[in-house]
Chains A and B, each alone.
Chain A
Amino acid sequence: MKRWLPTPLMSLALWLLWLMLNQSLAPVHVLFGGLLAVAVPLLVAPLRPTPVRVSRPLVAIRLLFYSLVEILRSSFNVCMLILFSKKGLNSKFIRIPLDLRDPHGLAILACIINSTPGTVWVEIIPDSHDLALHVFDLHDTQWWIDMIKGKLEQPLIEIFEQETA
């Protein structure tokens, strides 16, 4: 089991991907998808050196919903700013100190931040663990730091950095 399915979640995702691409549950697609789901993770294992440990599915679902709401809310704000702002926008770079170290967690954080209109990830500042972030219309630096650390980073730490696993 461990030898042939080292990453069950990725295998499941690949299998579903195959079935959705073909839009069918015919036995040939189920079988071939299963074959891919076993073979692909084994073939790409050397390309993914750090193992991923995921826990707390409930936290993940809550994070997903929070991000969706946040994306809708900020895109409404950004649309309003683009259409109706008369004065100049206060767009600024800010630094956010991060505690999250897991590369996969950071990748997810980058995806959420960049999918949210109004914020773009620049980089993790060299020789530190601070994130450089560009904000479209900045009012309160501390609010952004609290929001990203509390609402996005904390769940990701819970999901990816559980030592007990």
Chain B
Amino acid sequence: MSNSMMSGMHDMSLWLAVPVSLLLVLGGLITLTGALGLLRLPNFYQRIHGPAVYITVGTGCFLIASMLYSSVALQRPIVHELLITGFVILTAPVVSMMLMRAAVYRDLRKGNTDNTPGDAYKFPREH
């Protein structure tokens, strides 16, 4: 397997190399932007939106690139990246929901609320 991988790497034709590298560069840029968001955004509620970008689109780019490349290099369709996509879509939302709720409940217990008159449910204030 690693043998055919290696030979595929050497004589990778242009029509494969271009889309694969474009996808890899795009995925890398998106991941960098998401990480930059984690660094630049001022509070937790905004920072939680940064990783969402690379969890979905960044990972998607890498997985499509990987599927394209290994399918051609190994001369047969390689689709088990679809499983990774499935598992990411099932698990990542749960994590962000849990983080969000933990932050909301901590802020509410601190009494850091944004009162809407007449509303029993309070949202935390963003500082």
- Interfacial residues, chain A to chain B (CB-CB below 8 A): 17, 20-21, 23, 71-72, 75, 78-79, 82-83, 88-89, 91-93, 95, 110-111, 113-118, 120-123, 125-126, 128, 130, 132, 134, 136
Contacts and interface: CB of A to CB of B under 8 A. Distances in A.
Interface string B80-119: 1011000001101100110011001000000000100000
B37 A82 contact: yes
Q: DSSP majority for the B interface? A: helix
B20 interface: no
Interface string B14-55: 000000000000000010011011001110011011101101
Contacts, number: 102
B7 interface: no
Given A75-B52, A75-B57, 6 more contacts: A23-B80, A71-B56, A79-B30, A88-B42, A117-B52, A123-B97
B83 A132 contact: no
Given A20-B83, A111-B90, A117 B49 contact: yes
Contacts of B56: 71, 75, 115-117
Nearest to A76: B57
B6 interface: no
B101 A91 contact: no
A60 to B, nearest CB: 15
